[in-house]
Chains A and B, each alone.
Chain A
């Protein structure tokens, strides 16, 4: 029981730390690198590592934190991030459970795409004006987030045996 509570608290601490790092990235890095989404990278790697549904609840918490630091209506990030991770979690079990680096890259790409689709629909519903240049940002986010997750997983795979391919 205590172990489970401590584990949960540790995960909450981790997601808050990654969220703060993400804010640092978006503030300090120049365009287009400010679009790297560390929260998604962290959660996708967690999903590949543990393969449990708790990642969806961590995504839910991350979504709430994002909503607290956004000027958009509360719920836009919570809904987009949680639902997109739920869908990716299901895809993981159906297609990507082999822990390969290509599966991880594909999951990251799908996650960012699904997340941004939900996000765009929600902001359109909340009467926010969008322009075509927003999709340039999405493009950079998809490219850089997928590339970084690929790179990080490659390093982790070389470092820790648990990440290695199940053959």
Chain B
């Protein structure tokens, strides 16, 4: 008798879940979901202020102007890399690159609402969506040119950014060494960022800057990803790996810019 009742309860709940998933798929539950989302998004607005408050409190104890210095360091790194890039390109390529960056892309500023709740991924929710022109795989930057991730899910008014330290993140990258080595920057459950598939015979050293290679669809060349911290080179393996320190503090992101193709 008890087992019959349990079976009935189980199937009732199971069919309700199927019903909700089905109706959600066809956006038929938007009228219920939207008020909940609006209230929760509104509640999440102060989250960045709280984080900023704690960060500033910490800084007063350690170093007063650390935040400003960090921003200046990031901007300086962007400028230095740009100079390096510009020096090595010929005039024609420079013109093409400028045309590419200045004319084919535009930025959309967005506020970070929260991290998403999935422990599997290191993702952020931002307050701009498809209504603002954002689409899947658009790169997301801070500090004018530091790549932090890509758009992985888009809704009308909000989007999810997959950070570069996420397990599923993989971005084509170039090391600013003598050979301009290319490889793949991959994350690992928020625990770190690695660059894999670097050819074994190329010289890679700690401190080298890593930028986006332009080989990943939708991500322009020249966005800074980070610096090499440790090089892992095993003689029996065809490729070497490098542990990367991201150029931006991925645990502390308030404002971002999404790079989207310019509307013609």
Contact = CB atoms under 8 A, between A and B. Distances in A.
A69 B168 contact: no
A60 B189 contact: no
B79 interface: no
A26 B119 CA distance: 9
Contacts of B188: 131, 133
Contacts of A82: 13, 17
B117 A28 contact: no
Interface residues of A, number: 44
B119 A24 contact: no
Contacts of B153: 71
Given A28-B54, A68-B33, A131 B47 contact: no
B160 interface: yes
Given A23-B44, A64-B20, A74 B25 contact: yes
B98 interface: no
Interface stretch (A14-22, A42-50, A102-110, A154-162): A14-22
A71 B118 CA distance: 8
A134 interface: yes
A24 B116 CA distance: 10
A72 interface: yes
Contact of A23 (B33, B117, B119): B117
B107 to A, nearest CB: 22
B114 interface: yes
A132 to B, nearest CB: 10
A56 B13 contact: yes
A65 interface: yes
Interface in A104-159: 123, 128-131, 133-134, 136-138, 141
B117 A70 contact: yes
B250 to A, nearest CB: 12
A20 B43 contact: yes
A31 interface: yes
B189 A131 contact: yes
The 5 closest A-B pairs by CB, nearest first: A75-B21, A71-B160, A71-B153, A70-B118, A27-B115
Given A16-B39, A31-B190, 15 more contacts: A22-B117, A23-B47, A28-B50, A28-B51, A68-B37, A71-B118, A74-B24, A78-B21, A83-B13, A129-B167, A130-B167, A133-B167, A133-B188, A137-B119, A137-B120
